[in-house]
């Protein structure tokens, strides 16, 4: 049924979640008539495909690309887009003028964190479910996941009447377990590692004749993820580069396949965290060390997919690494500038633009904000650390004579300098100062780094020793 056009970025009826409507009400409006939009996407895709590929059909390079990875093709992604038409939110892809100014490139953001389960993973899971036979649907599906794939599969399995079993490691945070159960899935907690949970999932699949839905190394899953590239190039056909986070490679395999078919000259760049460079190691034959944890847990994959690895090797132009600080900064920038909540993996693309900005200067760059499921405590830590790095939160130590009124004098001086005191710690015992003196540690809310220096100078002018810790 064709929906009425409304002055919102997408169809609120299709969204099924009013918080998503409110969250992106400030974005550039696009047509809410989902069927009309889908037809426009396919018409534009066919037009661009014919125009760009007419001269390359007979080329050896194009033939090689087709032969290398025949299991995932542009037609697979087109078919997935048709299947997902009434099941997945068509998220907006709009320019961020502020981020564009900061990084020196024209930045367009694809808000996949606005999906119902706050992740692009819904696309691949839903497409895989649509391909099940009646017999397979009756038996049910199983997956191993401690994150977004679990919720995406559970949600769409519930919607389509398919029983879903999700195997998670025992250490999985309770909020994720309960959220997955809330979507009607049967959650099995097993093992202390992801690998132990995966092996148990394989065993259960064999015992109960369930269809295993891999989070990334499945051509149907990758095809579903690739549908977001069709939408991006329909909304912004002049994009020069797409920057995509890589975990196991399902998202970038689908995106690269669709993008290169529609626009062969487009540049596709993959991003991994320095702590989990599994795809870079696999594709480039390097042996960079693997870490044990990262704030970008959605891309913390120790072994790249077999199917996805072949696509990345052939269709992705460059792989970049970012560190934890880059990702923290990107999460905070998106929260402050775009007023959107993105998890670590979802901010990896912007982190790459921050760290490797010379590689994107002057280009039109599309970023996928792949997910918004972040632990509140982790988010709080990122915000606090970001404020400290930018000089909006500072810890200083003031040394003074331990006499009545000295603390009042210190606080009055800080107040006159325009800073706000968040914490005070009066230190007498654990100090090398003379017994008549005292160390007072303060945590201050300040405007910037220069403001911190102004506060310190004011304290020194008042006869006190003051230094930043």
Task: Provide the annotated active-site residues.
Answer: 121, 370
**What contacts 260, CB < 8 A, 6 or more positions away?**
65, 266, 268, 315
Query: Which DSSP string corresponds to 251-309?
Result: HHHHHHHHHHHH-TT-EEEEEEETT--HHHHHHH---PPP-S--S-GGG--SS--HHHH
Lookup: tokens for 428: 């007498």
User: Tokens 């056009």, residue?
Assistant: 5
> Which bin fits 200, alpha (ψ -120 to 50), beta or left (φ > 0)?
alpha
Contact (Cβ atoms closer than 8 angstroms) between residue 182 and residue 221: no
Helix (H) or strand (E) run with residue 329 in it: helix 324-337
Supply the Cα-derived Rg of the chain in whole angstroms: 26
User: Tokens 């981020």, residue?
Assistant: 99
DSSP state of 28: P
DSSP state of 8: S
**What contacts 23, CB < 8 A, 6 or more positions away?**
114, 340
Contact (Cβ atoms closer than 8 angstroms) between residue 312 and residue 256: yes
Alpha-carbon distance of 254 to 73, in angstroms, equals 9
**What contacts 455, CB < 8 A, 6 or more positions away?**
394, 396, 414, 417, 418, 419, 444, 446, 466
Contact (Cβ atoms closer than 8 angstroms) between residue 325 and residue 199: no
DSSP state of 423: E
Report CA-CA distances (Å) from 414 to 304, 389, 397, 411, 447.
Answer: 53, 20, 12, 5, 13
Helices and strands in the chain, H and E counts: 20, 14
User: Tokens 């959605």, residue?
Assistant: 298
Alpha-carbon distance of 395 to 384, in angstroms, equals 12
CA angle, 77 then 78 then 81, to 5°: 85
Strand segments, DSSP code E, in 71-139 are 93-96, 106-111
Which of 13, 315, 254 minimizes the C-alpha distance to 128? 254
């Amino acid at each position: 049924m064709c929906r009425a056009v409304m002055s919102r970025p997408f169809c609120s009826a299709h969204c099924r979640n009013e918080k998503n409507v409110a969250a992106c009400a400030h974005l550039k409006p696009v047509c809410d008539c989902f069927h009309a939009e889908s037809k426009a996407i396919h018409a534009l895709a066919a037009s661009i495909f014919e125009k760009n590929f007419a001269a390359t059909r007979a080329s050896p390079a194009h033939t090689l690309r087709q032969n290398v990875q025949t299991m995932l093709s542009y037609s697979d992604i087109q078919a997935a887009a048709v299947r997902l038409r009434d099941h997945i939110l068509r998220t907006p892809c709009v320019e961020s003028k502020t981020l564009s100014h900061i990084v020196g490139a024209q930045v367009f953001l694809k808000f996949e964190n606005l999906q119902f389960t706050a992740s692009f993973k819904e696309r691949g899971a839903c497409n895989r479910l649509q391909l099940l036979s009646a017999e397979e649907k009756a038996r049910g599906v199983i997956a191993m996941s401690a994150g977004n794939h679990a919720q995406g599969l559970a949600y769409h399995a519930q919607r389509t009447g398919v029983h879903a079993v999700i195997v998670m490691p025992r250490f999985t945070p309770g909020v994720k377990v309960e959220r997955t159960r809330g979507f009607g899935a049967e959650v099995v907690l097993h093992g202390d590692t992801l690998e132990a949970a995966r092996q148990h999932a394989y065993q259960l699949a064999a015992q109960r004749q369930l269809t295993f839905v891999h989070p990334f190394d499945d051509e149907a899953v990758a095809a579903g993820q690739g549908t977001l590239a069709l939408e991006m190039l329909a909304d912004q056909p002049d994009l020069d580069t797409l920057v995509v986070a890589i975990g196991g490679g399902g998202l970038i395999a689908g995106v690269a396949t669709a993008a290169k078919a529609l626009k062969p000259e487009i540049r596709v760049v993959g991003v991994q965290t320095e702590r989990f460079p599994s795809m870079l190691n696999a594709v480039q034959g390097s042996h960079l060390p693997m870490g044990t944890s990262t704030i970008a847990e959605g891309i913390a994959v120790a072994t790249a997919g077999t199917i996805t690895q072949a696509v990345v090797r052939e269709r992705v132009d460059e792989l970049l690494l970012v560190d934890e600080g880059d990702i923290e900064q990107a999460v905070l920038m998106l929260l402050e500038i775009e007023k959107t909540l993105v998890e670590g993996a979802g901010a990896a693309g912007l982190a790459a633009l921050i760290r490797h900005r010379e590689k994107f200067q002057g280009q039109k760059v599309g970023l996928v904000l792949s997910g918004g499921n972040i632990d509140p405590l982790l988010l709080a830590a990122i915000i606090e650390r970001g404020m400290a790095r930018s000089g909006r939160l500072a810890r200083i130590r003031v040394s003074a004579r331990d006499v009545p009124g000295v603390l009042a004098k210190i606080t009055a001086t800080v107040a006159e300098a325009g800073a706000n005191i968040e914490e005070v710690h009066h230190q007498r015992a654990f100090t090398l100062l003379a017994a008549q003196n005292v160390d007072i540690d303060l945590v201050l809310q300040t405007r910037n780094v220069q403001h911190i220096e102004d506060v310190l100078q004011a304290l020194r002018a008042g006869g006190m020793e003051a230094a930043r810790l």
